[in-house]
A = this chain, B = another copy of it.
Amino acid sequence: MAEAMVLCRVPRWSVGLWASPGWWRTTCTLRALVRPKRGPGCPGGASGPLACSMFSKVSSCTPEVMLTQERYPVQRLPFSVVSEEDLAAFERLVPGRVVTDPEELEVSNVDWLRTARGCSKVLLRPRTSEEVSRILRYCHERNLAVNPQGGNTGLVGGSVPVFDEIILSTALMNQVTSFNSVSGILTCQAGCVLEGLSRYVQERDFVMPLDLGAKGSCHIGGNVATNAGGLRFLRYGSLHGTVLGLEVVLADGTVLDCLTSLRKDNTGYDLKQLFIGSEGTLGVITAVSILCPPRPKAVNVAFLGCPGFAEVLQTFSTCRGMLGEILSAFEFMDAECMQLVQQHLHLASPVQESAFYLLVETSGSSTGHDAEKLGCFLEQVLGSGLVTDGTVATDESKAQALWALRERITEALSRDGYVYKYDVSLPVERLYDLVTDLRARLGSQARRVVGYGHLGDGNLHLNVTVDAFSAALLDTLEPYVYAWTAGQRGSVSAEHGLGFRKRDALRYSKPPPAVQLMQQLKALLDPKGILNPYKLLPTQA
């Protein structure tokens, strides 16, 4: 069953959109892989739809991004500086795949949100784990810092250098190694783009267990390194459960082969778990083995209006009970979110104006059965007044349109002004209280305080928009949001990770002994600290 193929050979920086045949959910907000084009361009704020799209890799019309080392109080650690001899050595290790052109490097030095910028002078593009091993062995000996990079779609500044770290890109490690059509187990290199993998397994009647808005750019290795959550989490669970094996290159170049393709393996400590969510700080993931569920034959999407958050919670309980095993997403957004997508994106609400909106998706193996279950559920929640209005889509294009209302909130937010972003986990029954509290606390200081997210996972995306960045407002928000979350034993980062920007918030979700053990693990696996420095672990213990 082993087969090898190259996925996504579309030139990474080609102009325009990467056309995706897609499956059933739209990728219309995905404007990845746009060629970097710097210059004065059009004025910041007002811009064409493509260049300023939320998923543009690099926009041509936004102002220069300030260097991270200038914006934040951070000191370069005493790593070596890349020399001409180093570049010559790299050229021997990965011939023709050593990038030093500043224009090309810019794309990998700046993060997707355009709020962090490193000044790396070299990017390496290995094709194999052996090449990664040789590179890391060399860097380890030379005390050179390394920033592993996948699709560079992270939201916390974790995927770009802070100073001059060498960028180690997985872009050319894009081979599928094998797929077992009985078990649904896929094994591939870390640089495979998620959307390409989705297409690959869908053609074989399976689906990837994760799906993200950034799927057109993000790499599976990066997904695993950041323990990506996303839209199928409610149904298929965490990558800690679905990733079956990993190949990881350690800081000193040791190749750790835990790339088993087995559902069960209780031989010793489950080492791969250490690297899932370690954000490239403990090792470089070079290959992944992952369990793909069978492709559902029927998908339905309902979009509902709810009069209050209590009704949202009751609808969720009812939904779990009545839709059971076919429930695949339960997303919510508040009235402010709807106003945002209406105002900035001219999307029309398919339901009456409500305090809250829900998107409920089912995925199952029988069109008739699923429609019947969904019908009974809708009858129940509409009849009892939990839901006041709703619409259902069974065909792909209408379902896409409903998903767009939820998926394009981020894009609408970015057009509303400067955005302060938070991504927290809370007990579901307290989930919206943080939005209400913060709205009261900020009053007229904020343009909007909005809440939306993966209710089924207890994951709130809390966003505050203002005219322009203000340090004073930041002080009002932080640590308030983190302390509030900690007060509920919540997580200050549900799915985005800590990266560079949130590393000092770690202590709000983890007690000192846990932080200390993390530091000990880092010291054990990367004693020189060369792997993705300045990330994940707090500045001071």
Point out residues on A near B: beta carbons under 8 Å.
1, 180-184, 205, 226-227, 229, 233, 237-238, 240-242, 250, 254-258, 260-271, 273-274, 276-278, 282, 294, 296-297, 313, 316-317, 320-326, 363-366, 369, 372-373, 425-429, 454, 457-459, 489-498, 505-506, 508-511, 513-515, 517-518, 520-521, 524-525, 536-537
Contact = CB atoms under 8 A, between A and B. Distances in A.
A294 B320 CA distance: 7
B458 A263 contact: yes
A351 to B, nearest CB: 24
Given A270-B277, A514-B268, A263 B425 contact: yes
Contacts of A513: 250, 254-257
A268 B510 contact: yes
A242 B242 CA distance: 11
A366 B369 contact: yes
Contact of A509 (B267, B426, B493, B518): B267
Contacts of A511: 256-257
B524 A494 contact: no
Contact of A277 (B266, B320, B369, B520): B266
Task: Quickly give the copy total for this chain.
Answer: 2
Nearest to A282: B269
B241 A498 contact: no
Contacts of A321: 205, 294, 365
A340 to B, nearest CB: 24
B264 A491 contact: yes
A267 B260 CA distance: 27
A240 B233 CA distance: 14
Given A366-B369, A429-B182, A492 B267 contact: yes
Contacts of A227: 266, 270
Contact of A264 (B233, B282, B366): B233
A277 B273 CA distance: 11
A402 B525 CA distance: 50
A365 B323 contact: yes
A280 to B, nearest CB: 12
A107 to B, nearest CB: 25
Contacts of A278: 269
A257 B369 CA distance: 44
Given A181-B317, A266-B277, A267-B505, 7 more contacts: A257-B511, A262-B427, A265-B491, A268-B514, A270-B276, A325-B326, A517-B525
Contact of A325 (B238, B365, B490, B517): B365
A308 to B, nearest CB: 15
A366 B260 CA distance: 36
Contact of A273 (B240, B508, B524): B240
A80 to B, nearest CB: 26
B365 A267 contact: no
A509 B269 CA distance: 12
B268 A506 contact: yes
11 contacts: A237-B242, A254-B513, A263-B457, A263-B458, A263-B459, A265-B491, A269-B282, A273-B274, A324-B364, A325-B326, A366-B372
Nearest to A270: B277
Contact of A262 (B313, B316, B325, B490): B490
A94 B491 CA distance: 35
B266 A491 contact: yes
A359 to B, nearest CB: 18
